[in-house]
């Protein structure tokens, strides 16, 4: 059990496109019973935190304690900051116009890939008021899908969310065995807790499962999509962002819970 107060860490990239991230951070803090920490992503144009204070005060609807901090562009970050804050999630907001299909340096992705906690990513088109009551978890034939279930479970446990597992329709026996193992792992873990979950059989195979999950989410309110990075994303994705993730953020309104596989994570306390 952690002795420190846990935090949601909001990394502000552009103060003019941060209101959604700020509001979502306070909503997350409410049901995780945590506090919030705000800091600009290190850059020459982000030096003064004071302009953010008006946005923060206006969107702190639940009077949740928060702090402002300076984030350093250092090789130990963001994990030094995460450990000091006992942070649960990073929240950050991208401007849609910046999410080009062509390689463009978003060096914050280096932090997102290095972080020992997942990131919740929003855009200015994400709904401001969000209760995170539907968590959409597309799985595939890879073992890393189990990592998604661990993090989805926290939304069920702390926020009484309904977890929707979207399973692909595979033909190969080897793929089917891995998917069945993931579902068995999920059943054993989820049934230790008192939240609802359901498994939805998709019509597509693994390669299209994220797109089908997003289509499925359109019939639900406050749906969070859980995605996981490749084990080795490569240099371009690390600095410019994964192309599939950017494509989804550019077109869709859902927030994305973005997970790195098989990390030595700092887990939320019970």
| pLDDT reading at 100 higher than 90 | no
137 within 8 A of 149, measured Cβ to Cβ: yes
**Length of the chain in residues, anyone?**
270
81 upstream amide cis, omega within 30 of 0: no
Distance CA 189, CA 201 (A): 20
Closest by alpha carbon to 151, among 135, 166, 131?
135
Decide: pTM greater than 0.95. Answer: no
| pLDDT reading at 156 higher than 90 | yes
184 within 8 A of 143, measured Cβ to Cβ: no
Q: Per-residue confidence at 148, pLDDT binned at 50, 70, 90?
A: very high
Strands 35-40 and 66-68: parallel
Q: Per-residue confidence at 58, pLDDT binned at 50, 70, 90?
A: confident
- % residues pLDDT > 70 (the chain): 87
Which pLDDT value is given to residue 72? 83
Which pLDDT value is given to residue 1? 42
DSSP character at residue 268: P
Which pLDDT value is given to residue 262? 57
């Amino acid at each position: 059990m952690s002795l420190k107060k846990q935090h949601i860490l909001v990394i502000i990239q552009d103060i003019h496109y941060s209101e959604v991230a700020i509001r979502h951070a306070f909503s997350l803090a409410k049901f995780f019973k945590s506090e919030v920490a705000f800091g600009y992503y290190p850059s020459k144009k982000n030096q003064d935190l004071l302009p953010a204070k008006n946005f923060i005060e206006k969107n702190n609807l639940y009077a949740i304690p928060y702090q402002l901090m300076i984030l350093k562009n250092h090789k130990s970050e963001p994990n030094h900051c995460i450990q000091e804050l006992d942070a649960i999630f990073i929240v950050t907001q991208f401007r849609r116009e910046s999410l080009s299909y062509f390689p463009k340096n978003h060096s914050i992705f280096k932090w997102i890939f290095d972080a020992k906690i997942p990131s919740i990513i929003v855009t200015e088109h994400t709904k401001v008021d969000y209760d995170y009551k539907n968590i959409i978890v597309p799985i595939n034939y890879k073992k890393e899908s189990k990592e998604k279930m661990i993090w989805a479970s926290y939304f069920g446990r702390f926020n009484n969310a309904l977890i929707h597992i979207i399973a692909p329709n595979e033909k190969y026996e080897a793929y089917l065995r891995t998917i069945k193992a993931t579902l068995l792992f999920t059943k054993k873990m989820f049934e230790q807790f008192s939240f609802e979950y359901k498994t939805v059989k998709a019509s597509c195979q693994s390669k299209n499962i994220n797109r089908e999950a997003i289509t499925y989410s359109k019939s639900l309110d406050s749906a969070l999509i859980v995605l996981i990075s490749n084990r080795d994303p490569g240099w371009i994705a690390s600095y410019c962002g994964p192309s599939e993730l950017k494509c989804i953020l550019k077109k869709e309104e859902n927030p994305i819970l973005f997970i790195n596989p098989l990390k030595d994570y700092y887990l939320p306390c019970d």
